[in-house]
Structure 1
Amino acid sequence: MSATPPVPHLPRTIDETGLLRALPMAAAVDALRAALRDGPDPEADPPRTIVPVEHGQLLLMPAHRSRYAGVKIATVAPDNPAAGLPRVQGQYLLFDAPTLAPLALLDGIALTTVRTAAVSALAADLLAVPEASRLVVFGTGPQARGHLDALRAVRPLTHVTVVGRTPANVERFVATARRDTGLRVEAGEPSAVAGADLVACCTTARAPLFDGALLPPHAMVTAVGSHERGSREVDGTTVLRSTVVVESRSAAAREAGDLIPELESGRLDREALVTLAGLATGAATVDPDRPRLFKSVGMAWEDLAVAGAAYEAT
């Protein structure tokens, strides 16, 4: 009589509340730092697959490391906000690497929000001056708030200026952030970057948000708003004035709209791009007399690192 095959376990479900409870920002930053230190080179990550559909895009982001494999399936529907729906939606499926058995199904948008802010926080910890206290944040959505919380975890913020297109959204963001953080938070204009230690660009802008000539030499800018060639949050002045840091040179050349015009014109040398892994391992350094620009496009290895840490903590 043949043995009955084992019944596979259903994957654990980790919703937004469970993810945020399991993985404080400091833990997410540590998971990413460890992945850069111990894992394969991010250059080896497979490219993001983008499939255009009638009302937006389908995105597929697989990754594999020694212990886990995983894939994020996300959608981008630009018209959704007008209908009161999220612009980006999705799920993340985490697998055991040796057996490829499914382990957990995570809220893909909560995961993306946490990992994007955590990557910026890691970059800021490696790039920003230790005493950085003044933040200018562009945007009023979940990523803007996530970046405020993430950057507070790595630098002693005291003053936050919020710049947004819709006054009501800015007012609401300011009031909530004041209440939750106890920091001095106020609405402002793009010119506020002239007094910034940190600048976080968390928007869907198609054109630059501020004049890069205004940046102080010690400022650190993180731009996370898009992975599309035709979008940019920072201008050519910011790019050419700064030491430019990326997650992966190949991913930046494919997807970093903030950098592609300068790369393709030859004004910015691809080999001059500093990688986050180089900084995290001590293989690279930056010029302290120039602004530092971290351009993130979001990569699958980041999702996997954060998803694995969340799974282990639940």
Structure 2
Amino acid sequence: MYSLFDELTLRGQHKVKTWQQQGQSWASYSLYRDRVSHELYIPHTVLNLVVQGEKRMYDGRRVHHLRAGDALLIPAGTLLCSEILRPQQQYSSINLVIPDQLIQVELKGKEKRHTSCTKALTTLPPNAQWRHFTQSLLDHFARDWESPNYYDILSHTLHLINKEEPISAMLARAVKYPLPEVMEKLRTDLPEVRLLAEMAAMGHMSTATLKRRFREVYHCSPMVWIMEKRLQMAGFLLRTTSRPIAEIAYSTGFEDITHFYRQFRRCFQLTPLQWRNMESDLFSK
């Protein structure tokens, strides 16, 4: 259901250039010329810098509308949906993969602060430093013969993130309490999960441990999180496909259409049909 995003290449890219460290891609510049949508599982923390164009990123009940100059932090182990907009305008962005080990070193102790911040896609406050950083990366990508120092770039990235206390605390907590086995299985089995015990078994832990981890990181129960992810996918499919509403509901894990309509309206304050037909922007930023 969700594609693994680990090599920084995706369907629909007109052009992509990557930098590698020990055989693994850690940075990319991507250019799109057509509208395209993706359902992605992000196993590592990623910083997404929008260079030009617009896109929507779906994360549970939140929809982020990103434009040129925006910086989006994606915590490791995230299931998200992405919709690149404006087919008449090119879209390009830079992605940087930030390894857990570096986050643990650079943001050590941060997880104990701002414990009310939940793990989620987070748009970083715009400032001149992020704009300058993005431009410096673009300059490096423009020089085909030059790849910048891996550790210098990522250390500087975390230095800038570290200035935003709540965001750095969220990121540090996300890598301290990972759930990789659970998320890896949910990326394909999300619609089928019905019981908390099933979800706990995916991570080889007790239901009590699973509930405690979700409270620490997501500030909700595992089954509430599952519901929001199903609604996320439903909302995404309503906007990016012409599939019938009932078919979308069943494919995302809902067994009762009335229940789906009720939950969708509770989450997004619109019916599925209103959401699909809405011409104005969705809930931006």
TM value normalised by structure 2: 0.30
TM value normalised by structure 1: 0.28
Q: Which has the higher helix share?
A: 2
